[in-house]
Structure 1
């Protein structure tokens, strides 16, 4: 396993993973008008805008997962289908926590996304609130009901 900054040439691959994972985890829990905006093209545009904030986890030459950070927020976190259940998600989360160490980090999880919520709780994150979270779309921000998870992270070693 190797963590590294994402490269511009990987935008399409990261966007495809994000698109697939987002639809699997969120489509059943968010308004239909938001689902309609979540096209592969939108994910490519969003990925390109966040590529400098993206870290990939590479396993045997393949991108097994990625995370995007925005300040104290774990903005995006996805694992490729073929790597789920392999320990990649736990390794990726440890990397997030080490990177954000020394502060209280947070993330938003769509209300109803029980699989993601269970993973975050297993990693020691705690649900602090339910709130309206503004997600970006090509048509402007849209409010989504989310669970806010937080974790006080020790300083990086």
Structure 2
């Protein structure tokens, strides 16, 4: 696995992976109107907007996952379906934690995304409780119930 800053040439692959994995992880746990708004074009636009804060994980030269860092937040963290369970996510998380500012950092996990929550807890993140967070969409912010995870890095 190699982790590097994302480049403009990565936008299409990142957006495609993000779109697929977001729907896989969130479609059953968030409001239907948010699911309907999460079309491929929205992920393309969001990837472009956040590219300077994005890192990609490659395996054999192909995109296997990515994460985004926004200030003290691990803003996005996704692993392609073909690499889940391979240990790639742990390596990505270690690199993300090394890049996050010190000392206390956080991430949001949609309430009901139990697989992700278990992974974060396994990596030493603490669930500090449920709260509402406004997420970006092409039609404006939408509220989502999240579990806030925090960690001292």
- TM superposition score category, shorter chain reference: over 0.9
Q: Does 1:70 align with 2:65?
A: no
TM-score (norm 2): 0.98
Superposition pairs for residues 3-18 of structure 1, below 5 Å? 3-18=3-18
Q: Who is 2:151 aligned against?
A: 151
Q: Does 1:121 align with 2:121?
A: yes
Structure 1: runs of 5 or more not aligned: none
Q: Who is 1:25 aligned against?
A: 25
Q: CA deviation at 1:102?
A: 2.3
Q: Please state whether the residue corresponding to 2:139 is helix, strand or coil.
A: coil
- For residues 115 and 96 of structure 2, the distance between their equivalents in structure 1, rounded to whole angstroms, comes to 19
Superposition pairs for residues 47-66 of structure 1, below 5 Å? 47-66=47-66
Q: CA deviation at 1:101?
A: 5.0
Structure 2: runs of 5 or more not aligned: none
Q: CA deviation at 1:145?
A: 0.3
Count of aligned pairs: 153
Q: CA deviation at 1:100?
A: 1.2
What RMSD over aligned residues (CA atoms) do the two structures have, in Å?
0.7
